[in-house]
Amino acid sequence: MALALRCFRHLPSLLHHSRLAALRGPLRVPPGCAALLPAGCSHCGHQMLLSRQLATKKAKGKGQTQARVNISAALVEDIINLEETNEDMQAVVEALKEDFSRNLSVRTSPGALDHIIVVTKDGKFPLNQLGQISQKSPQLLIVNMASFPESTAAATKAIRESGMNLNPEEDGTIIRVPIPKITREHRESLAKLAKQSTNKSKEALRKVRSKSVNQVKKFKSKVSEDTIWLLEKQIQQMADSAVAEMDKLLAAKTKELLG
């Protein structure tokens, strides 16, 4: 009953504001403004301003999740290409994923050596383009360099310096690559390398983010402060999403390596 009385006490004030709103009539927007359409307005940024106000209000409560900004790329294409920014960030994530797959595995197969780059007098080439790689036993890989015998020494050096803890042995045009026994120490070493690779990828991601933010800031004198704020927030959200994906990849890879 007490709660009901308190509600009725505020009713006159609510009705008063409702009458004022009715007298004022519908919200007026500049001619040709599509602020009330889902796509927003490409001229005055009313929709963007509303998004900022909503995001600020929702973020005020301590511990509450901040509202996500979702700007239509078409509205800001003259300022920055958001789709290209997102693609650049995802390319960093994909490069980390490929690095994990190729370089950081406790399971060895002939394909593990494919990506090793060999520096020759004619240029740089993947090992699998210069030699035929096969697995003679679980503990031994063979690289047959008969097609490019002059590159045998360079291939041996590339394998040794690949960071895969391999010690190749030359026998004419044949390179024998013994596979070391997987010890706990080696697993921990690989896990540490995975962490280092992730940190390097995050640094590359920060460069993409900084480049995009600097691009947006160039338009400070041409567009509203709210537009700049929302674009920076959108770029940060994209970067945060990529970082979260990297952290998931690292957690999964660490679990795989350490067993």
Per-residue pLDDT of the chain (259 residues), as tens digits, is 444 434 444 444 443 444 444 444 443 434 433 333 333 444 444 444 434 444 444 444 444 556 777 777 777 888 899 999 999 999 999 999 988 887 787 666 667 788 889 999 999 999 999 999 998 887 899 999 999 999 999 999 999 988 777 899 999 999 999 987 778 888 898 899 999 999 999 999 999 999 999 999 999 999 889 989 999 999 999 999 999 999 999 999 999 888 7
Tell how strand 132-137 and strand 123-126 pair up: unpaired
Euclidean distance between CA atoms 109 and 115, whole angstroms: 12
Give the Cα separation of 109 and 81 in Å (integer): 41
* Domains held by the chain: number: 2
Q: In the Cβ-directed half-sphere of 198, how many Cα atoms lie within 13 Å?
A: 20
**60: which residues sit within 8 A by CB, 6+ positions away?**
none
H/E stretch holding 117? strand 117-120
Residues 147 and 247 in one domain: no
Domain span at 231: 73-104+183-258
Tokens of residue 154, six digits: 């360079």
Q: What is the pTM of this model?
A: 0.61
State whether 215 and 155 are in the same domain.
no
Q: Is 91 exposed, middle or buried (0-12, 13-18, 19+ CB in 10 A)?
A: middle
Instruction: Clarify whether residues 187 and 254 are in a common domain.
Output: yes
